[in-house]
Amino acid sequence: MTAPPADEPIRVFLVDDQQMVRAGFRMLVESQPDLTVVGEAGDGHEAVERLAATRADVVLMDVRMPRLDGVEATRWLASRGERPRVIVLTTFDLDEYAFAAIKAGAAAFLLKDAAPPDLLGAIRAVHAGDAVVAPSTTRRLLDHFAAALPDPAAPAADDRLATLTEREQEVLVLVARGLSNTEIAAELVVAEATVKTHIGRLLAKTGSRDRVQLVVLAYETGLVRAG
């Protein structure tokens, strides 16, 4: 599904089993001239059905819902291609579901109590192709469910890391720590364009879809320790 022209608003689809929550998100999204709500659903099953016939760019996806949860709905949407891109909305007590959704194909995640500017910024960032919306949140959430990840003291062999150069592994570590391209460039004393090249190679070599999957990969393999 192709993105809309630059002068068209970003099409947002809302998925949450609480009608009041959807109404709040709708009011927030519709208050922005560059965003529009094109539909909503009360559970993952309904979302999958409606999104098959609704053109959307970004989906705000709750995780725990009846019939079909946000993880499985996200996996189905991700299997269709680049769009729509999914932002998982979670709370700290549901972090394990957020992690599963990221592995299933979500582009980013936010806490449900995120400030309105953060949520709006996340929608725009994900639509533009950015995946790690809030590095500080990424670190906190990964730290919180680190117990569910493999022991970092004994990383398992992983073919996805086997072909990486030493510099590419350095970049992967910095991506996993939540640094932006500009910050990575400053850390390694290289041009930002060089960082973008390295990240493109990382995505290709590891078979990762985006930066979020690179973060997960670094933690899963023990390349980066939580905490």
Long-range CB contact pairs, 161-169, < 8 A, 24+: 161/206, 161/217, 161/221, 161/223, 163/205, 164/202, 164/205, 164/206, 167/198, 168/198, 168/201, 168/202, 168/205, 169/223
Inter-residue contact 168 to 204 (CB < 8 Å): no
This prediction's pTM = 0.70
As given in the structure block, the two tokens for residue 25 are: 């998100």
Reading across the β-sheet that carries 10-15, which strands appear in turn? 35-41, 10-15, 58-62, 85-90, 108-111
Q: Please report where in the chains the tokens 């004393």 appear, as a residue.
A: 189
Bridge partners of 111, per DSSP, are 90
Q: Residue 102 has what pLDDT?
A: 75
Alpha-carbon gap, residue 39 to 54, rounded angstroms: 8
The one-digit pLDDT tens for each residue of the chain (227 residues) are: 445 555 789 999 999 999 999 999 999 999 999 999 999 999 999 999 999 899 999 999 998 888 888 888 998 888 876 678 899 887 765 556 667 777 788 887 787 888 899 889 889 988 877 654 455 555 555 565 555 555 545 454 567 788 899 999 999 998 888 788 888 999 999 998 999 999 999 988 988 877 777 887 887 787 876 65
Structure token pair of residue 83: 């769009």
* CA angle (11, 202, 208) in 5-degree steps: 50
155: left (phi over 0), alpha (psi -120 to 50) or beta: beta
Token pair belonging to 170:
């350095």
DSSP string for residues in 98-122: HHHHHHHT-SEEEETT--HHHHHHH
The pair phi, psi for residue 39, each rounded to 5°, is 170, 170
* Residue 83 and residue 38 in contact, taking contact as beta carbons nearer than 8 Å: no
